[in-house]
Amino acid sequence: MAALAYRTGKTLRGAPEGFSDFRISEATRSAGEILAHIGELLDWALCLAKGRHEWHDSAALPWDQASARFIADIESLDGYLASENPLECPAERVFQGPIADALTHTGQIAMLRRLAGAPVRGENYFKAEIVAGRTGREQPPPLKEFD
């Protein structure tokens, strides 16, 4: 969860004004719609962990609000996974489904940032200071970024 928080957080910070509405065509999701979908995925993962198969559609929010929702959702899921509460769904299913999908969509937001003229610098994530349980807004600066 910390890796998802680190990578997604990097794509959320410093987005240009109006980025939430940026899309590459009328047939694709906007950045804000993708971020709302990531929130849906994290919510679904938490429901699965609690033994419920529930999906909640979400509308795109202004970027700052959507970013705050992402942080709240990932902290809730991480907190549940770290708790003594039973995992009511195999962990492999939670990670191969909603979490893997969220990582894919994080990459889409990074690509949209580049297309919008506000690229997120590449990074050696193997060397990144990603620590289990650190899923909030405060993330360490990158150790080794690439142009």
Of 38-42, 61-65, 129-133, 143-147, the one with minimum mean pLDDT is: 143-147
When the pLDDT of each residue in the chain is averaged and rounded to a whole number, the result is 94
Enumerate the H helices of the chain as residue ranges: 2-12, 31-49, 63-82, 91-94, 100-115
Distance of alpha carbon 17 from alpha carbon 71, whole angstroms: 20
pLDDT tens readout for residues 39-98 = 999 999 999 999 999 999 999 999 999 999 999 999 999 999 999 999 999 999 999 999
Q: Which two tokens stand for residue 92?
A: 């492999």
Q: Which of 46, 40, 36 is nearest to 76 (CA)?
A: 46
Q: How confident is the model over 108-133, as a mean pLDDT?
A: 94
Provide the pLDDT for residue 143.
Answer: 79
pLDDT of residue 129: 92
Confidence at residue 145, expressed as pLDDT on a 0 to 100 scale: 79
pLDDT tens-digit map of 20-31: 999 999 999 999
Query: What is the percent of the chain with per-residue pLDDT over 70, rounded to a whole number?
Result: 99
Query: What are the boundaries of each domain within the chain?
Result: 2-13+29-146
Name beta bridge partners: 122: 146
Whether the CB-CB separation of 5 and 134 falls below 8 Å is answered with: yes
CB neighbours of residue 109 within 10 Å: 22
| Residues paired with residue 1 on neighbouring β-strands, in sequence order | none
pLDDT classification of 147: cutoffs 50, 70, 90: low
pLDDT of residue 98: 98
Q: Strand pairing partners for 123?
A: 145
pLDDT for residue 141 is more than 90 = no
CA nearest to 64, candidates 39, 32, 99: 32
